[in-house]
Amino acid sequence: MFSILKLEFLKNFMKEDFSPLEKQIKIKFKNIQLIHNAFVHRSYLNEHKDYNGGSNERLEFLGDAVLEFIVSQYLYETFPDKEEGVLTAYRSALVCSKSLSKISKELDFGKYLLLSKGEEQSGGRTRPYILGNTFEAVLGAIYLDQGLENAKGFVHKFLLPELEEIIANQEYKDPKSELQELTQEKVNVTPHYDVLDEKGPDHNKWFQVGVFINKKRIGIGEGKSKQIAEQIAAKDALTTWPGTID
């Protein structure tokens, strides 16, 4: 039986108006609780013990799998002459935190997030890692509420258009290999990578990694794994080359 205090808390929690978002993505949720839950960051639970629900991590887990399937099917059907390695590179570039967070920013997902005060003050509403995870959580909510076809529609409309630019700019290429070749050619040094920060439980880690030439940091990246963060750090270094070496 809920206390009066808990009932009041839940009313306040559910009063967030998601109709502008529903209109923007052209989806009317049958179960509004699902889209609410997609924006509950785990840090929020630490300060709101009265919230009778979990974070968005389960929806993120589901959305990650749904996203990989939708993108994989699209790439398989769209590029019949491309080998598996190229398709994997396309997919990795498309579903990385950078791409997902870009779409989340365009859809203004950050304003709907429920965060702890600390996460809020540290810029959590614009953090690529959090926004990327939120995109996956929203997709998980769409899949549960609307089914696979509407989930596909969401991905095809908002994310897949990014692929043209990714291919045109060759963003799918392995930036670590490119950076290593460049540094060995220009300064005869192999870059090394160090973890600068690490957060989250074992099943949902977040890493911040720096890439260094000798002791000078030339790039920084964030991601769900060290490998992803290293790739983003290498790409960051390549965008500022050669100024970062001088």
Looking at the annotation, which residues are catalytic? 64, 136
β-strands 216-223, 206-213 pairing: antiparallel
Residue 120 annotated in ligand binding: no
Long-range contacts: 200-208, Cβ < 8 Å, 24+? 200/42, 204/42, 204/57, 204/60, 206/129
* Cβ atoms of residues 95 and 74 within 8 Å: no
C-alpha distance from residue 145 to each of 32, 61, 85, 237 (Å): 9, 16, 34, 41
Question: Under DSSP, is residue 106 helix (H, G, I), strand (E, B) or coil?
Answer: helix
Nearest to 133 by CA among 39, 226, 50: 39
Residue 60 annotated in ligand binding: yes
Residues annotated in the binding site for Mg(2+), as ranges? 60, 133, 136
Residues annotated in the binding site, as ranges? 60, 133, 136
